[in-house]
Structure 1
Amino acid sequence: MAFTLRQLRYFVAAAESGTVSGAALSLSISQSAVTEAIRDLEADLGVVLFNRHPRGLEITQKGHQFLRHAQGILAGVADARQAVASDSERLGGRLQVGVTSLVAGYVLSDILARFRRANPGVEVTALEENGDHLEHLLIGGELDVAVMVTSALRDRMALQAEILEVSPYQLWLPNGHPLAAAPSVSIGDLAGEPMIMLSLDEIEEATRTLLAAFGARPRVAFRTRSVEAVRSLVATGAGIALLPELVYRRWSLEGDRIVSRDVSATLPVVQVGVVWRRGAPLAPPARDFIRIAQSQQRR
């Protein structure tokens, strides 16, 4: 039996919510329908997509691999519908988007460009703010959607989030640093190294918490809200940095090389997602923005 688009939608909803009940709520269907669809999909594929536990669902490695393809298929179907829409079905109106500083130039710009191409009749305004304030604006109805770091989302009862990207932390080093050539790098190797801290979207707090968990105390050499400043400082040897992979680039603006290394420890990840007010009716521009954001995920 070939899998269906309905099974893919239910699977993606379960992967994003982490629970059958959460998927059922977002889809406005029964929990048994979600459970049955996932079971049939696993039987058709011959793999286990989720590990079940009392707290919900944990997606497996095979599930992660299939999720990318499922999201791509659903996005392709939505694109096909949009391509044949008549001029009378083209969207108009306004869309108010919020974004946090960390993801403004790395995630939002591509989504907005694609949205504007698909919906030239929609007036788009974007506001860059910190995560707490964006949550406040979403709950108050002053924003339609926001693209932001969702790892530290505070009001999960009032807000609904769809994860667009999961980005692990990496170690950034100047070219030629001894750790760049080491067979492996551990948290202990970072003790005493001057650290360049990025003070955006709880990144500094997460970095300090991470190092403290391993008994390492960061020696902060420089603190900045600019990712480009971190690149330049690391590349010129002023210090090292622990940052999400999504903002890594090999070169600084000055043309100096930056090396990234994985660290042999369980590092946290940064989740970036599109967020909107739970239970609120979404206007067509907001729904299409979410669809386009989903299809823009890194494969």
Structure 2
Amino acid sequence: MSLSFRQLRYFVAAAELGQLSRAAVELNISQSAITVAIRELEETLGARLLNRTAQGVELTDVGRRFLSHAYAILASVDEALKVPDIESTIEGTLSLAASYTLLGYFLPYHLQRLATLYPRISIRLYEARRDEIEEGLLNNRYDMGVLLADNVTNPELSVERLFASTRRLWVPAQHPLLQKRAVTFADVAKEPFIMLTVDEAAQTAARYWQDTNFQPHVILRTSSVEAVRSMVANGSGVAILSDMVYRPWSLEGKRIETVTLKNAVPAMTGGVAWSGRVEPSTPMQLFLEYFRQTFSSPHLPSAALRQGRSGSR
């Protein structure tokens, strides 16, 4: 059995975060996929890399030594991806609009990589609401939009879904729901609820709550993700948000935990949209192809989905 790029990325995520469950959230994959990949890696190397503990996982002596090699290999691969090719000489401009969530929690990492791959393509970036992006695409104010794909309503737009980010319940550390084997909407309905409103999040939440016999006990509606994060971390309430915007710590340094609900909750789906009335330009084609290749990869970098450390809400 040979060593793979995927195994290295999964091992590094688990080593850095100290928990297989947290690494699974970071990589937007199942915990079993990480477990299998690390076991295969250990079998290939003939040594144990991680010890399982009650709190999570910790590096063995061999694991600590191998981690430095894993970093070097991954850095070399990233550097190789920056090697110029004929496409790096292509010139042009791309007018790109993005909604609040994807501009803040998704795009920066990809914009940096696109600038490296295509240094002569100038991207003019705008933040706008979903309805503004749709109108701007149809009126040629924007070439492309990056937005929550399941919210797009205009049939004249072409939409390509790129990824789905799981929604989970956010609770403060030591919350009683963390001790339950299965948490349902009935449990959540008993808790004070912080409702995020930006990017039509409240409308989306209303739709999936309507499929239950319960309603959230909303004590605050806010357009600020950081306000939700702080309110939850300080024990003022709970929230249901996607893994894309999750971070384990609030600005005050307090811990936030996540719980996967027993009930089905639709994932947040991000995608790219453009007008079906126009022939995509070369910069548009390259932009779209970059995302197709990135999200078809089985070893997607953790930063790709959750830049900085990493439908509708």
Provide the TM-score with structure 1 as the length reference: 0.69
The answer to whether 1:165 aligns with 2:166 is no
What is the SS of the residue equivalent to 2:147? strand
How far residue 101 of structure 1 moved from its aligned partner, in angstroms, is 0.5
- Cα pair distance change 1:295/1:106, threshold 3 Å: farther
Paired position in structure 2 for 1:250 = 248
How far residue 114 of structure 1 moved from its aligned partner, in angstroms, is 1.0
Any idea what the Cα deviations from partners look like across 1:76-98, whole Å, max 9, x if unmatched?
9xx98x84317xx7122211101
The answer to whether 1:287 aligns with 2:285 is yes
The answer to whether 1:200 aligns with 2:201 is no
How far apart, in 2, do the equivalents of 1:274 and 1:134 lie?
Answer: 11
How far residue 209 of structure 1 moved from its aligned partner, in angstroms, is 2.4
How far apart, in 2, do the equivalents of 1:228 and 1:236 lie?
Answer: 12
How far apart, in 1, do the equivalents of 2:193 and 2:200 lie?
Answer: 16
Paired position in structure 1 for 2:74 = none
Any idea what the Cα deviations from partners look like across 1:16-42, whole Å, max 9, x if unmatched?
xxxxxxxxxxxxxxxxxxxxxxxxxxx
Amino acid in structure 2 at the alignment position of 1:172: W
How far apart, in 1, do the equivalents of 2:241 and 2:202 lie?
Answer: 9
Amino acid in structure 2 at the alignment position of 1:278: G
How far apart, in 2, do the equivalents of 1:265 and 1:228 lie?
Answer: 26
Matches within 5 A, 1:152-231: 152-155=151-154, 157-231=155-229
Residues 208 and 218 of structure 1 are in contact (CA less than 8 Å); yes or no, is this contact kept in structure 2? Answer: no
Q: Any stretches of 5+ residues in structure 1 without a counterpart?
A: 1-75
How far residue 232 of structure 1 moved from its aligned partner, in angstroms, is 0.8
How far apart, in 1, do the equivalents of 2:292 and 2:221 lie?
Answer: 33
Provide the TM-score with structure 2 as the length reference: 0.66
How far residue 163 of structure 1 moved from its aligned partner, in angstroms, is 1.2
The answer to whether 1:107 aligns with 2:106 is yes
Q: Any stretches of 5+ residues in structure 2 without a counterpart?
A: 1-76, 301-313
Any idea what the Cα deviations from partners look like across 1:62-119, whole Å, max 9, x if unmatched?
xxxxxxxxxxxxxx9xx98x84317xx7122211101001111221111211111122
How far apart, in 2, do the equivalents of 1:170 and 1:237 lie?
Answer: 17
How far apart, in 1, do the equivalents of 2:280 and 2:210 lie?
Answer: 42
Aligned residue pairs, count: 219
Paired position in structure 2 for 1:277 = 275
How far residue 197 of structure 1 moved from its aligned partner, in angstroms, is 0.8
How far residue 184 of structure 1 moved from its aligned partner, in angstroms, is 1.0
Any idea what the Cα deviations from partners look like across 1:213-246, whole Å, max 9, x if unmatched?
2121221111111111111110001110011222
Amino acid in structure 2 at the alignment position of 1:212: Q
Amino acid in structure 2 at the alignment position of 1:259: E
How far apart, in 2, do the equivalents of 1:162 and 1:90 lie?
Answer: 26
Matches within 5 A, 1:1-299: 83-85=84-86, 90-155=89-154, 157-297=155-295, 299=300
Residues 114 and 292 of structure 1 are in contact (CA less than 8 Å); yes or no, is this contact kept in structure 2? Answer: no
- Cα pair distance change 1:208/1:225, threshold 3 Å: same
What is the SS of the residue equivalent to 2:251? coil
Amino acid in structure 1 at the alignment position of 2:285: R
Amino acid in structure 2 at the alignment position of 1:141: N
How far residue 279 of structure 1 moved from its aligned partner, in angstroms, is 4.3
How far apart, in 2, do the equivalents of 1:196 and 1:152 lie?
Answer: 21
Amino acid in structure 1 at the alignment position of 2:168: Q
How far apart, in 2, do the equivalents of 1:207 and 1:272 lie?
Answer: 16
Amino acid in structure 1 at the alignment position of 2:129: N
- Computed over aligned residues only, the root mean square deviation of the Cα atoms, in angstroms, reads 2.2
Paired position in structure 2 for 1:68 = none
Residues 94 and 285 of structure 1 are in contact (CA less than 8 Å); yes or no, is this contact kept in structure 2? Answer: yes
